[in-house]
Amino acid sequence: MTELSHIRNFSIVAHIDHGKSTLADRLIQLTGTVAERDMKAQMLDAMDIERERGITIKANTVRIVYPAKDGETYVLNLIDTPGHVDFAYEVSRSMRAVEGSLLVVDATQGVEAQTLANVYQAIDADHEIVPVLNKIDLPAAEPDRVKEQIEDVIGIDASEAVPISAKTGIGIPDVLEAIVTRLPAPTGDRDAPLKAMLVDSWYDPYLGVVVMIRVMDGMIRKGDQVKMMQTGATYRLDKLAVLTPAMKDIPELGPGEIGVFTASIKQVRDTRVGDTITHEKKPCATPLAGFKPAQPVVFCGLFPVDANDFEALRDAIEKLALNDASFSYEMETSAALGFGFRCGFLGLLHLEVIRDRLEREYDLDLITTAPSVVFKLHMRDGEVRELHNPADMPDPTLIDHITEPRIKATIMVPDEYLGDVLKLCQDRRGIQMDLTYAGSRAMAVYDLPLAEVVFDFYDRLKSVTKGYASFDYQISEYREDHLVKMSILVNDEPVDALSIMVHRDRAESRGRVMVEKLKELIPRHMFKIPIQAAIGSRVIARETLSAMRKDVTAKCYGGDATRKKKLLEKQKAGKKKMRQFGKVEIPQAAFIQALKMDN
């Protein structure tokens, strides 16, 4: 056990690309935590997808042993936090497991959207914050200007910000000293009953479920019988270790320490992030505050392009779900798409990440249906039903009214983009609740329907503000509105995967945009194809895709056989991504494209 005074727990907060991973690598390298030959760039972003997308999804941690200038040796625990709004809950609870943060700001760019969103999380968690100005090796670096900006915009003292280059290594020893001298040591009572926070959990193919904890009070040892206070489940610890980042066994962990254990836990679903872990025999009196199970808020259908892949998809989804408690699924059948799954996610990025992993790691070709939220149907007979899929909408005459989830959204944006942001929120049925200014930044608080946000709101917000807005939301309440189901008919056949719930006053314009887009997205066939949007039996928008009779190879007059072959191959590959509806083939991309709202 390490003495409390010799522990420092911290996270690194930064806007994307400001150098968080590079700095973490440097800290690990300089302290010799990983042998030079094992050092690979961006150690902490384990998964391929994280690397490619440059985002960190799972919170990672590493224990660094650092001999400081004062002659004492300190244990520094770094927790890596995810940076996207879909994972805001993961960020906020991992923040509560540490006492301080390094705020990394790119000295050539200055404070940006996520810098703000993330630093406010750190401030909320009462962190001591050490500003770090990165990339000072670049000629465009303006450390003084950025210092001033940190003080103006964030309102924290930046006079002692540490100038560094994570790339060349300048200033890294100063960062380590600042961690020891400026961040507070944790507090806790080793003689009190065990109270530990479940910070994260994941599935390891060799060890089974690994649980990461931060001990608040008491001691935890290998062989202990522990209890999860929320779920009530009890387990015996098989292994207790720290991450260096490789797992290293340790006999015990005391207050302020961070480590991992295994305990023959069958699935990650049995471990709830934020839960309190205590001893079964001598439990602590009260659990830690703020436990909140992650609730899926966005649902969509995932179907195999090739019906023969259904079993493979089931297998893959079950495996992924073992590793991700916030992802839910149930089997679904669709007239158009056959057998598949209705899946629930924390948000759109989460959806994309899961879909990508299924396609890549399990080599599956998937069709994704329109993301939707959970509506509540208040039936005339008094029953309240949840609607996860617009295709399951019952006869509207049986419904008294429908409620939908609303959110309280906070958007921070530089002045010059405010007009566009307000228009976007207005277009999405938003109600302005507050508008304030801090320096040259505005903060707008809106009450918005979640359904209008789940699809492409972030994308639109990013594009109208050139990436300079930060966005955060909380679900507020379910509220009644005039919602109707709109169906899309292609060649007079309803395509259930394209039906959506929409506000009555907006159905016509949404329907018009959708049929126009589908007309562009569906390739011409040998016959005329009507494309219609309808509410019940009433058609509200219609386009006709005219017939075509053309051999794709007709253009290749002359005897260029290879070119002809290539075209045919391309067409064949394209077919794989097509789906047959009656006589019509619809490309898979059309399902998502048609639903984008950028009219």
Ligand X SMILES: Nc1nc2c(ncn2[C@@H]2O[C@H](COP(=O)(O)OP(=O)(O)OP(=O)(O)O)[C@@H](O)[C@H]2O)c(=O)[nH]1
Residues tagged in the binding site annotation: 17-22, 134-137
What backbone phi and psi angles, to 5 degrees, belong to 269? -60, -25
Stretch that binds ligand X, among 130-138, 264-272, 305-313, 558-566 (CB under 6 A): 130-138
- Show contacts with ligand X in window 400-429 (CB under 6 A): none
Only segment of 132-140, 248-256, 347-355, 576-584 that touches ligand X (CB under 6 A): 132-140
Q: Does 467 bind ligand X (CB under 6 A)?
A: no
Helix residue ranges, H only, 289-347: 310-322
In contact, 199 and 11? CB cutoff 8 Å = no
Specify whether the CB–CB gap between 416 and 457 falls below 8 A: no
Binding site for GTP, residues?
Answer: 17-22, 134-137
Binder among 5, 39, 48, 54 for ligand X (CB under 6 A): 54
Q: Which is nearer to ligand X, 138 or 589 (CB)?
A: 138
- Residue given tokens 């679900």 in the structure block: 475
* Among residues 20, 63, 269, 342, the one that binds ligand X under rule CB under 6 A: 20
**Closer residue to ligand X (CB): 56 or 532:** 56
Using only C-alpha atoms, what is the Rg of the chain?
Answer: 27
Choose among 351, 399, 23, 383: nearest CA to 178.
23
Q: For residue 19, state whether it binds ligand X (rule: CB under 6 A).
A: yes
Minimal distance in Å, beta carbon 95 to ligand X?
Answer: 16
Closer Cβ to ligand X, 34 or 209, answer by number: 34
Residue 285: strand, helix, or coil:
coil
Q: To the nearest whole angstrom, how small is the minimum distance from the Cβ of residue 30 to ligand X?
A: 14
Residue 39 is a binding residue for ligand X (CB under 6 A):
no
By beta-carbon proximity to ligand X, the closer residue of 118 and 491 is 118
N- to C-terminal Cα separation, the chain: 60
Report yes or no: 325 and 313 within 8 Å, Cβ to Cβ. no
Show the tokens assigned to 182. Answer: 């400026």
Shortest spacing between CB 61 and ligand X, in angstroms: 15
| Closer of 121 and 165 to ligand X (Cβ) | 165
Taking the complex as a whole, the smallest distance from the CB of residue 57 to ligand X amounts, in Å, to 11
Helical spans, DSSP H, in 215-364? 310-322, 348-361
Q: Which stretch binds ligand X (CB under 6 A): 131-139, 377-385, 407-415, 565-573?
A: 131-139
Please state, in angstroms and rounded to a whole number, the distance separating the CA atoms of residues 561 and 559. 6
Quote the tokens at residue 532. 């219609």
- Choice between 108 and 326, CB closer to ligand X: 108
Q: Is residue 91 involved in binding ligand X (CB under 6 A)?
A: no
- CA 343 to chain centroid, in Å, comes to 15
Nearer Cβ to ligand X, position 55 or 567?
Answer: 55
**Which one of 7, 8, 13, 18 is in contact with ligand X (CB under 6 A)?**
18
Least Cα distance to 414 among 177, 593, 152, 230 occurs for 152
Show the CA angle centred on residue 348, arms to residues 100 and 591, nearest 5°.
165
Closest approach of Cβ 115 to ligand X, in Å?
Answer: 10
Binding residue count for ligand X, defined by CB under 6 A: 19
22 touches ligand X (CB under 6 A) = yes
Find, among 378, 377, 343, 346, the residue nearest to 358 by Cα: 343
CB 187, CB 237: distance < 8 Å: no
For residue 23, give Cα distances in angstroms to 27, 135, 141, 335, 485: 6, 10, 17, 52, 50
What is the rounded CA–CA span in Å between residue 354 and residue 324?
10
Does the footprint of ligand X cover residue 21 (CB under 6 A)?
yes
Q: State which H helix or E strand residue 485 sits in.
A: strand 483-490
Q: Which is nearer to ligand X, 18 or 214 (CB)?
A: 18
Residue 492: DSSP 8-state: T
Residue 588's CB: how many other CB atoms inside 10 A?
18
Separation between Cα atoms, residue 337 and residue 523, nearest integer Å = 19
Name which position in 84, 96, 127, 135 contacts ligand X (CB under 6 A). Answer: 135
Task: Fill in the per-residue mask, 243 to 282: x = in contact with ligand X (CB under 6 A), - = not in contact.
Answer: ----------------------------------------
State in angstroms the smallest separation of the CB of 11 from ligand X: 13
By CB under 6 A, the residues from 151 to 170 that bind ligand X are 165-167
Nearer to ligand X, 57 or 250 (CB): 57
Quote the CA–CA distance of 574 and 365 in Å, as a whole number. 12
Asked if 333 and 302 touch (Cβ cutoff 8 Å), the reply is no
Q: Does 137 bind ligand X (CB under 6 A)?
A: yes
Residue 134 CB, nearest distance to ligand X (Å)? 5
For 520, residues 6+ apart whose C-beta sits below 8 A from its C-beta are none
Binding mask 553-572 for ligand X (x = CB under 6 A): --------------------
Q: Which of 38, 52, 138, 248 binds ligand X (CB under 6 A)?
A: 138
Q: Where on the chain is the footprint of ligand X (CB under 6 A)?
A: 14, 16-22, 54-56, 83, 134-135, 137-138, 165-167
